[in-house]
Amino acid sequence: MEVTEAEQAAMHRALALAETVRGRTSPNPAVGAVILDTSGHLAGEGATRPAGGPHAEVVALEEAGASARGGTAVVTLEPCAHTGRTGPCADALIEAGVAKVIYAVEDPNPEAAGGAARLRDAGVEVIADVEGHAAASGALRPWLHSVRTGRPYVTWKFAATLDGRVAAADLTSQWISSAASRADVHNLRALVDAILVGSGTVLADDPQLTVRDGDRATQHQPLRVVLDRRHRVPDEARILDAAAETVVLDTAAPQFALKALYDRGVRHVLLEGGPTLAGAFIEARCVDEVIAYLAPMLLGSGPAALGDAGIGTLTDAATLEIESVIRLGDDIKVVGRPRWAEARAGE
Ligand code: AOF
Ligand code: ZN
């Protein structure tokens, strides 16, 4: 069983298609699919439509029409075998006469799994785990995490000086990070389902928490979430304006908040502030990814990015596996994953 160069290229295209719908498919996964005709030429392509709409395979099959017969389907996730809000994709592929199916990641959702077996039973050649790692650590990551853990994937993002401060001693904090970093944050917001802050951040900064610039602006506004146990958020706070939907949760407990968001269909949360809330999330081991924007600036005093996380000694430190380090304008962007997240993913 071999994967041709055209099929490999089709998988890369499917991965790219999946990227284009990130943040707009939850609670469903962001999947990409490509159909090649019998001579290996592109016949159709697609990505998951918003939840309740067709899956990626069905979008691609529609575009391919009769050219799918005898051809190959290349998908980032194992085709489903269940009737949920839509019919089984495995059956749609069989009916269309597809001869070969190549996919990246096995479907861990017990309700939908079994597509590969159904395809094989119908005489379709099936190849699994092609670019599996790329798919699982890309657009599918938050969804895969949610299926396994029952709570959303949490990215904690902060912008600080090189000495880790988010504001000066007098609490001035505007423009620590560069314009390039701020645009990057807006792109990041467009990829997630919800943005989470504590009431302290609302009172201190009165942020709007919308996607305003960056390349993906206006495509999608994530849900805005404030944890406000003491009912401190004033009616005139910008987070309550009409620019996007907002929920105020009457709790300070990360697990409870994440469960409530999961039940609303949220699969990826961007934790944006502030230090106290971040400390509580780290202490509860509810952070799966850390994105730090570090500005070439030193302050020497002022609040630290991370508040008390219940860590008293070095051996208890939350250690990160660094995934990438890039320069953004004059800033440095570091992406890392706490090792506890890794341990969980391997369970
Ligand atoms: C998607 N898009 O491209 C694929 C999915 O509720 P349903 O009927 O839409 O089914 C959702 C499940 O289908 C989802 O949890 C996953 O297991 C499977 N595959 N879903 O939304 C897709 N291929
Ligand atoms: Zn499906």
Q: Which CATH number is 136's domain given?
A: 3.40.140.10
In angstroms, what CA-CA distances link 96 with 35, 70, 121, 269? 11, 9, 16, 38
Q: Whose CA is nearest to atom 19 of ligand 1?
A: 80
Residues less than 5 Å from ion ligand 2, measured at CB: 55, 80, 89
Tell me how far the alpha carbon of residue 41 lies from the centroid of ligand 2, in angstroms: 23
Element (H, E) at 20: helix 5-20
Of the listed ligands, the closest to the CA of 81 is 2
| Same domain (yes/no): 126, 178 | no
Neighbour-count burial of 247, counting CB atoms closer than 10 A to its CB (0-12 exposed, 13-18 middle, 19+ buried) = middle
* pLDDT at site 175: 83
Mutating to test ligand 1, I would choose from 15, 21, 77 the residue with most ligand atoms within 8 A of its C-beta, which is: 77
Considering the domain architecture, whether residues 184 and 43 belong to the same structural domain is answered as no
Of 144, 177, 194, which residue constitutes the final position of a domain?
144
Mark whether 171 and 269 lie in a shared domain.
Answer: yes
Domain identity same for 175 and 272? yes
- Verify that 163 and 130 share a domain, yes or no: no
276 with 241, same domain? yes
The question of whether 347 is a catalytic residue gets the answer no
Q: Which of 57, 131, 272, 289 is catalytic?
A: 57
pTM above 0.75, yes or no: yes
Residues with CB under 6 A from ligand 1: 25, 28-29, 31, 48, 55-57, 77, 80, 84-86, 89, 107, 109, 112
pLDDT tens for the chain, 347 residues: list them: 689 999 999 999 999 999 999 999 999 999 999 999 999 999 999 999 987 789 999 999 999 999 999 999 999 999 999 988 888 999 999 999 999 999 999 999 999 999 999 999 999 999 999 999 999 999 999 999 999 999 999 999 999 999 999 999 999 888 899 999 999 999 999 999 999 999 999 998 899 999 987 665 456 899 999 999 999 999 999 999 999 999 999 988 899 999 999 999 999 999 998 999 999 999 999 999 999 999 999 999 999 999 999 999 999 999 999 999 999 999 999 999 999 866 665 54
Asked if 65 and 184 sit in the same domain, the reply is: no
* Domain end marker among 122, 144, 166: 144
Q: How far apart are CA 338 and CA 334, in angstroms?
A: 13
C-alpha 274, offset from chain centre: 21
Number of domains in the chain: 2
**Which domain does 101 fall in, by range?**
5-144
Judge if 89 and 208 occupy the same domain.
no
DSSP-derived letter for residue 223 is E
Give the rounded distance of the alpha carbon of 158 from its chain centre. Answer: 17
Query: Which ligand 1 atom is nearest residue 84's CA?
Result: 8
The reply to whether 57 and 130 lie within a common domain is yes
Do 203 and 263 reside in the same domain of the chain? yes
Say whether both 198 and 341 belong to one domain: yes
Domain finish residue from 144, 170, 198: 144
CATH number, domain at 339? Answer: 3.40.430.10
| Residue 134 and residue 188 share a domain | no
